[in-house]
Amino acid sequence: MDLALGTNLTLPLFLLDETLQNRDPEKPDFSIDIILDGDLVAHMCQTPEADSSISIYINQYKLIDMPDEFKLLGDEHVAQIQVTQGPSIAALVLFPDGKTFVSPQMDFLPTFDMDVEKIEE
């Protein structure tokens, strides 16, 4: 997956429970739409050590296609991106009642617009 500054990244989210491994990856509970600003992309480009990860709190996002049953959890939640070696990323959304939703880990490659055309002119 290519990530570019100023674009949105939409990831599927699944309830983290004992049924997670048996879930259909094409049928998430809902999704998270993350705005990739400069600060977030810079943090995502960090390289974690082997067998560790980096958690990055996300400020600019929205939850989409959320069913009514999960809307009852309320508006208070915390969203994070977890970066592991690969590099791979996964999103997590945590609610105060302890429910956690996760996205599958995805390999990614950040892309940067270095304005090469402008420099060559």
Condensed to tens digits (0 to 9), the pLDDT of residues 60-104 reads 899 999 887 777 666 788 999 998 887 788 999 998 888 899 999
Dump the DSSP string for the chain.
-EEETT-EEEEEEEE-STTGGGS-TTS-SEEEEEE--HHHHHHHT--PPTT-EEEEE--SEEEES--HHHHTT-S--EEEEEEETTTEEEEEEE-TTS-EEEPPPEE-EEE----HHHHH-
Q: Which residue segment(s) compose the domain that 71 sits in?
A: 2-20+27-120
Q: What pTM, to 2 d.p., does this model score?
A: 0.80
**Phi, psi of 63, deg, nearest 5:** -90, 130
User: Cα dist. 98→31, 61, 73 in Å?
Assistant: 18, 20, 10
- The domain tally of the chain equals 1
Q: What number of residues does the chain have?
A: 121
The answer on pLDDT for 115 being more than 70 is no
How far is 53 from 108, CA to CA, in rounded Å? 15
Q: What is the pLDDT of residues 1-23, one digit of tens each?
A: 556 677 788 999 999 999 999 99
